[in-house]
Amino acid sequence: MNNRIAAPVLALTLGACTLPPSNAGETLDGSGSTSTATTGDSDPSASGNGEVTGSPTTSGNDTGTETGEPGCTPGKGERGCSRELDVLIVVDNSAQMGHEQLRLARAMPSLVERFSNATTADGTPLDLDVQIMVTTTDMGSPLCDGFNPPGYTPAAGSPTLTACTERLDDFTGLDGMTILPEACTDACPTGVAATGNFVAFDATGSNVPAGPDIDIDGDGVLDPPVAQALACLVPQGINGCGYEAPLESMLQALSPLAAWNTGPQAFLRADAALAVVLMTDEYDCSLANPAPLLNADNYNVSPASGAPQLSSAACWNAGVDCVDANDDGIYESCVPSRDPGFHPIERYTDFLTTDLEQMLGKEVAMLQLVGVPSVTAHAADPPFEPAAGGVDALVYRDWIDFPFPAGDIDPAEWDQGINGAQKQFEWGIGPGCTGLLDGRPEFAGQALPPVRMLEVCQSLDLPGGSKGTRCCVESICDADLSPSFGCLLGMVSG
């Protein structure tokens, strides 16, 4: 059983958003009229995110304070400042993401520790009142729907409700041969789960039942139940659609009309800061219609057949325009295309920078764990943004036909006869980063450049240099993902 809230796709008018107030479960259909949404096993408007053990989570945010920090309320608990923070994590659940999900799960203790010991930019202790929702990149596709396993429904932005130990069938790939339950169980041995639809915690408690502390990340330090619950929640499985749509999944998850964002226990809280974490090893394929995947002009030539054939490269070819002036396989520039089959970039930039700010008073920050080279240095001062490597070191190029590390081909795949031509056919662009999964030189994990996603993230940055940073981009290929959360915390606590 998939254990996600069933959610219709919401047709939102963006850029000049005039969404009317709605009751829980109401959505906008294509004509702009409201219709009633169908929910799954639980009603988020009724059960909410659960009560916080020790003290209920506060609602609403006060702005303008004695400390001079925007959105900061002094005097909560024994610390000097409090702030609400809603965190959305969108995780790629396609076939090759098992090891990456495990690394993200192992980084959850670091996230909880950083949030629990946060300070403002001037060093004032900061009590963060946090809600964390997790969903997948799977919006469904006519080309994927026929391959969905029994009981599987694309999340389409709806929250995952259960620990991954309750979803172990999701860790069998669509080929039926890739089976990776350890992507869940290695970081989630006990199946800890929050009592509601989101993981919620603050200085006074959490909605995770008390239990023994265990060491999730192998650092010799016992991790609390909240970190355990997150480590059990973020692994999403490997049976999702291979045409990932992280941007559209994000938008649907954050829609004010979604059932989980309405009612007294909504995920999105008015005036709370919002942090979005997008994790994928591919480029964005957020489609308005399936035409780009049905157009043979977007197909690469298959080395096996010698003829154009559908592959994931169709998303790259249709969604990105690149320039290779000297035809050397290295591209001087790659930018989002204007293919009408794709949702335009403005759908997401306007939604984040205008609609959410105007409707809910949101200050939005984004962390992307994607296909860029490792960040080799971070700024010394908040928000600790990348200062070297990362996006600045990203090169758009074709696949190098030789085994890693001299080339791009996984040594195990090279031994199977897979070469650069096959990879170019499959993906359309070479990897933005390569990493050794679990330190094993015989198995290289790779991720592709996130052109559309980068433009959305960078649109969040404000004037004022580093103090205006609202976008941090880190490498999904890193063995340890926990350092990435330093910039995320720096952005939301500054």
pLDDT per residue as tens digits for the range 362-409? 899 999 999 999 999 999 999 999 999 999 999 999 999 999 889 999
Question: What is the share, in percent, of the chain residues with pLDDT greater than 90?
Answer: 71
Beta bridge mates, 396: 331
pLDDT of residue 23: 33
Rounded Cα distance between 207 and 200, Å, is: 6
Residues 6+ apart with CB under 8 A from 253: 88, 90, 133, 135, 157, 158, 159
pLDDT of residue 14: 37
Residue 270 has pLDDT above 90, yes or no: no
| Two structure tokens written together for 339 | 């293919």
Position 270, amino acid: A
pLDDT of residue 79: 54
Cis peptide before 403 (omega within 30 of 0): no
| Two structure tokens written together for 54 | 């020790």
In tens, the pLDDT along 116-147 reads 999 887 888 999 999 999 999 999 999 999 89
Residues 6+ apart with CB under 8 A from 23: 262
Residue 12 has pLDDT above 80, yes or no: no
Q: What is the mean pLDDT of residues 349-355?
A: 95
- Cα end-to-end span (Å), the chain: 41
Residue 420 has pLDDT above 80, yes or no: yes
Rounded Cα distance between 84 and 132, Å, is: 11
Give the residue among 455, 435, 453, 430 at the shortest CA–CA distance from 445.
Answer: 435
Q: pLDDT-derived band of residue 358, with 50, 70 and 90 as boundaries?
A: confident
Beta bridge mates, 86: 131, 274
Check: CB of residue 244 under 8 Å from CB of residue 139: no
List the single range of 21-25, 239-243, 253-257, 361-365 with lowest mean pLDDT. 21-25
Rounded Cα distance between 300 and 353, Å, is: 36
pLDDT of residue 21: 30
pLDDT of residue 2: 64
Residues 6+ apart with CB under 8 A from 16: none
| Two structure tokens written together for 179 | 């089976």
Q: pLDDT-derived band of residue 66, with 50, 70 and 90 as boundaries?
A: very low
Query: How distant, in Å, are the alpha carbons of 228, 349, 422, 434, 477 from that of 404?
Result: 35, 37, 15, 9, 14
Q: What is the mean pLDDT of residues 469-489?
A: 95
pLDDT of residue 196: 87
pLDDT of residue 343: 98
pLDDT of residue 357: 83
Q: What is the mean pLDDT of residues 273-294?
A: 97
List the single range of 28-32, 265-269, 286-290 with lowest mean pLDDT. 28-32
Q: What is the mean pLDDT of residues 57-80?
A: 44
Residue 323 has pLDDT above 90, yes or no: yes
Query: How distant, in Å, are the alpha carbons of 303, 321, 404 from that of 399?
Result: 14, 17, 11
Residue 41 has pLDDT above 90, yes or no: no
Residues 6+ apart with CB under 8 A from 269: 59, 60, 61, 84, 86, 131, 360
Q: What is the mean pLDDT of residues 144-166?
A: 94
Q: pLDDT-derived band of residue 348, with 50, 70 and 90 as boundaries?
A: very high
Residue 239 has pLDDT above 70, yes or no: yes
Tokens 């157009």 found at:
295
pLDDT of residue 481: 94
Residue 184 has pLDDT above 70, yes or no: yes
Query: How distant, in Å, are the alpha carbons of 33, 48, 157, 351, 362 from that of 12?
Result: 11, 24, 14, 9, 18
* Sign of the CA dihedral running 410, 414, 417, 420: positive
In tens, the pLDDT along 423-475 reads 999 999 999 999 876 555 545 689 999 999 999 999 999 987 777 899 999 99
